[in-house]
Amino acid sequence: MIVRPAFVHDIPQLLRLMHGLAEFEGYRDRFAVTEADLLERGFNRERDPQFHVFVAADANENLCGYALTYFIPFTFDLRPTLVLKEFFVAADQRGEGVGHKLFRAVLDHGRQAGVRLLRWQVLPSNEGAKRFYASFGGTIDADWDNWVLPIETGSNQQ
């Protein structure tokens, strides 16, 4: 199993893994990403990508995991923050070291970019993920609470 940046030819398999994450996290019915969206937003050579993806592939180029990241360009110290937006390993590959390889690739990506920190979210009920991230030294950010406000286009909100 190797971990490498995703390529255009990975898009169909990447989308399949993204569907797997959506199912696992409970938003499969609202999942809207298409192959065309991935191509335009992440693999379009005519503009800067909105995200970067690492994939775990076997010798036959079958993908079993991915990590999708993006940068917040700068914060108070003028250094970027790397956000791990999505992280998923297929159920039949968990416990085989795939997640560790993917997470190390994300950390290396951040180091090379000179980021201040890596930020991510974990479902409150996902105890396995919490143990996984803690094994790397990750901790819960006690300084900040996540807030959301749905923005409806075309409606009048205060």
Q: Does residue 63 sit within a domain?
A: yes
What's the pLDDT score for residue 158? 56
Structural domain that includes position 120: 2-134
Distant-in-sequence, close-in-space partners of 138: CB < 8 Å, separation ≥ 6: 118, 120
> What pairing do the DSSP bridges indicate for beta strands 81-89 and 117-120?
parallel
Q: Specify the pLDDT at position 32.
A: 96
Q: Does any domain span residue 68?
A: yes
106 falls within a domain = yes
What pLDDT, on the 0 to 100 scale, is given for residue 99?
97
Say if 90 falls within a structural domain.
yes
pLDDT reported for residue 75: 86
Point out the residues of the chain with pLDDT beneath 50.
Answer: none
Does any domain span residue 153?
no
For residue 156, the model assigns a pLDDT of 54
Rg (CA), the chain: 16
**Spatial separation of the C-alpha atoms in residues 74 and 2, rounded to whole Å:** 31
Residue 147 maps to a domain = no
Query: What pLDDT does 153 receive?
Result: 76
Tokens 């999708």 sit on residue? 68
Residue 143 lies in a domain: no
CATH of the domain at 35: 3.40.630.30
The predicted-structure confidence for 84-129, as pLDDT tens digits, reads as follows 999 999 999 999 999 999 999 999 999 999 999 999 999 999 999 9
Q: Cα separations (Å) of 94 from 60, 114, 116?
A: 19, 30, 29
Domain assignment of residue 69, yes or no: yes
76: left (phi over 0), alpha (psi -120 to 50) or beta: alpha
CA distances (Å), 27 to each of 13, 18, 57, 101, in order? 19, 11, 25, 26
User: What is the model's pTM?
Assistant: 0.91
Number of structural domains, the chain?
1
Helix (H, G, I), strand (E, B) or coil at 83: strand
